[in-house]
Amino acid sequence: MNPSSFFHPAAEDSVFLSSEPLHPASLLQQCQHPECGGLVMFCGDVRLRNMGRQVSAIEYEVYVPLAQKTIRQILLDAIQTYQLGTAHAVHRIGLVPVGQTAVVVVTAHRHRMEAYKANEEIIYRIKHEVPIWKKEIFTEGDFHWASNDTPRELNAP
């Protein structure tokens, strides 16, 4: 495999936000790496029920300039910490109906354990550090802004 053919988040044209439906299999394929025997993919889908109520969709609001920069940095941090072959993540923007994928994280390492650990760390940091907010829209038509119970040290100026 040509080493330049797999995805790397440092590439200037990397995109980590999408207003179009995600294609997890394609993202996984982009991360296949000749030195990596373990690939882990996490998909976060919009689920039907939350807080005992039926959800019709989630609308994701994003502060794009900082979200794009922060996701790239989280991926680069994980590559360095876990010595990954590569890592990728894409998060949806806008309205995402129940059953569609809202976020995908892929990690590739020589072995599976590091790929699992890095993947978990990346999705945790995306949920708590990236300026993205979910508005849960219920089937009755009302909505609320969800919380991820972010630890205080990860927020506040």
Partner 1 sequence: MQVLFFAGLKKYFQPAIEMPAHDTVASLLAALKAQQHEASELLDQSRFAQGDQILMLDSPIQAHEPIVVLPPSSGG
Tell me the torsion sign for CA atoms 9, 156, 119, 135: negative
Choose one: 25-33, 48-56, 79-87, 143-151; the region binding partner 1 (CB under 8 A).
143-151
Of 50, 135, 139, 141, the one binding partner 1 (CB under 8 A) is 135
Nearest distance from C-beta of residue 118 to partner 1, angstroms: 16
Q: Indicate whether 129 belongs to the interface with partner 1 (CB under 8 A).
A: yes
Of 1, 2, 65, 141, the one binding partner 1 (CB under 8 A) is 65
Q: For residues 97 and 59, what is the distance between their CA atoms, to the nearest angstrom? A: 8
Site for partner 1 in 18-47 (CB under 8 A): 44
**How many residues does this entry show for the chain?**
157
Beta-bridge mates of residue 101: 45
Helices (H) and strands (E) in the chain, counts: 3, 9
Q: For residues 131 and 76, what is the distance between their CA atoms, to the nearest angstrom? A: 18
Nearer residue to partner 1 within complex by CB, 36 or 102 = 102
3-state secondary structure (DSSP) of residue 50:
strand
Q: Indicate whether 3 belongs to the interface with partner 1 (CB under 8 A).
A: no
Residues that bind partner 1 (CB under 8 A): 44, 60-63, 65-66, 68-69, 91, 102-103, 123, 126-135, 145-148, 150, 152, 155-157
